[in-house]
Amino acid sequence: MIYLPHTHEDIFSMLRVLGVDNLDDLFSTVPEDCRFTGDLNLPEALSEWELNNHMSTLSNTMAVSPEYKVFVGAGSYEHFIPASVSYLLSRSEFVTSYTPYQPEMSQGTLQAIYEYQTLASRLLGMEIATASHYDGATALAEALLMAVRVTKRKKIAISSLVHPSYRRVVQTYFEPTGYEVVELPYLNTGVTDTTGIDKMDDLAALAIQSPNFFGCIENLQVVGQKAHDKKILFVASFTEALAYGLLKSPGSQGADIVSGEGQSLGISRSFGGPALGILASSKKHMRSLPGRLVGKTKDLDGKTGFVLTLATREQHIRREKATSNICTNNSLCALAAAMYMASVGGTGIRKLAQLNHDKAEYLKKEL
């Protein structure tokens, strides 16, 4: 069991450290007329088996029970998570770790983040990925601010088929900056109409989500080529990382920056959070990346080690020079994603993506 009460030996050991003989002495500073000496009106204690049955009965009365199928859309979803991920993530050396400022004390955490960056880059077909962001929405906002820094232009074109919550977060980030965000309409076919960018000046980037909010697959190859013909950056966004088990990666279709949500990679829904923001880029834009990167190096003795290579956030350098004010990131969720991808492997991710696709097709057919 996860939660165990103190044994009598534990209690007496703690009392000895405090220099008292019993619990009454421990609470001697509390007046007796303020102490409760009766019995609490509580039911008998349950065994672990009985408690699990009781909680299952309660959960069956709620619409989050496995007995129910949720089709609300636009949210996070329950995906298979190997037991190994939950176990490894609960280990104290991971779950209690903070920002690994001291590499000599944090090699395990730093290497795990490095492995996450490697796996995320491979999944998305990009050269580098950051150590993580808060969620998919903030990752997109950071990606677009990055595009502004790289191009030194002041306008962003974003598809209206990007998740509406993501677009609201982008507006929140951009409103105080003076940069302009223009939303592109969509066609009757369920994909983005990008013809409007032909008449836009001072454009830094074009942001497209695929699969988009309607669930349609955008032709990223064509979109990317159009963006590059106009000399702007192509930012690909996603809300379902497992989709790239079947789809061509954004990097292979010309994306300059990729951002999205990694919740489906081994992270439970937990009543809406925390999530995992994934942000990847080509190497030539590496120094404009927000947040931080973990790199591989060698120490004075020639041994391989891992360190924070680039950390251009406001806690590390002058605030006005920082690429982002991101503070504590979601490294624990990034570790979960790394453990998940390593556990299921490339073949497993393809199978999961195929299973999700098949079930969606079955639902469409039945409807």
pLDDT digit string, tens, across residues 154-206: 999 999 999 999 999 999 999 999 899 999 999 999 999 999 999 999 999 99
Residue 26: count of CB within 10 angstroms of its CB: 14
Question: Is 30 inside a domain boundary?
Answer: no
In the numeric block, the tokens 């989709």 are attached to 243
Q: Which residue has the higher pLDDT, 210 or 328?
A: 210
Q: Which residue has the higher pLDDT, 305 or 316?
A: 305
Q: Is 182 helix (H, G, I), strand (E, B) or coil?
A: strand
The answer to whether residue 308 scores a pLDDT higher than 90 is no
Quick one: average pLDDT of 276-286? 94
Closest CA to 275 of 139, 177, 135, 109: 135
User: How many domains are there within the chain?
Assistant: 1
Q: In this structure, what CATH number is given to the domain that contains residue 306?
A: 3.40.640.10
Q: What is the pLDDT of residue 49?
A: 84
Question: Is 201 inside a domain boundary?
Answer: yes
Q: How confident is the model at residue 225 (pLDDT cuts 50, 70, 90)?
A: very high
Question: Is 319 inside a domain boundary?
Answer: yes
Quick one: average pLDDT of 118-140? 95
Q: What is the pLDDT of residue 1?
A: 42
What percent of the chain is predicted at pLDDT more than 90?
59
Question: Is 235 inside a domain boundary?
Answer: yes
Q: What is the pLDDT of residue 109?
A: 87
Query: Is there a contact between 235 and 306 (Cβ–Cβ < 8 Å)?
Result: no
Quick one: average pLDDT of 109-134? 94
Is this model's pTM higher than 0.85 or not?
A: no
Domain that holds residue 349: 91-363
Q: How far is CA 272 from the centre of its chain?
A: 12
What percent of the chain is predicted at pLDDT more than 70?
91
Separation in Å, CA 353 to CA 127, 210, 299: 23, 14, 41
Question: Is 303 inside a domain boundary?
Answer: yes
The answer to whether residue 354 scores a pLDDT higher than 50 is yes
H or E element, residue 307: strand 304-310
For the chain, where are the alpha helices, taking DSSP H only? 8-18, 23-26, 48-59, 83-89, 92-95, 107-124, 136-151, 164-174, 220-229, 331-366
What's the CA gap between 342 and 336, in Å, rounded? 10
What's the CA gap between 241 and 256, in Å, rounded? 17
Question: Is 145 inside a domain boundary?
Answer: yes
Fill in the amino acid letter for 164. P
Question: Is 47 inside a domain boundary?
Answer: no
Q: Please state whether the peptide bond connecting residue 66 to the residue before it is cis, i.e. omega within 30 degrees of 0.
A: no
| CA quadruple 313, 319, 321, 324: dihedral sign | positive
As to burial, measured by CB atoms within 10 angstroms (0-12 exposed, 13-18 middle, 19+ buried), residue 364 is exposed
Query: Is there a contact between 288 and 323 (Cβ–Cβ < 8 Å)?
Result: yes
The answer to whether residue 85 scores a pLDDT higher than 80 is yes
Closest CA to 218 of 226, 167, 151: 226
Question: Is 16 inside a domain boundary?
Answer: no
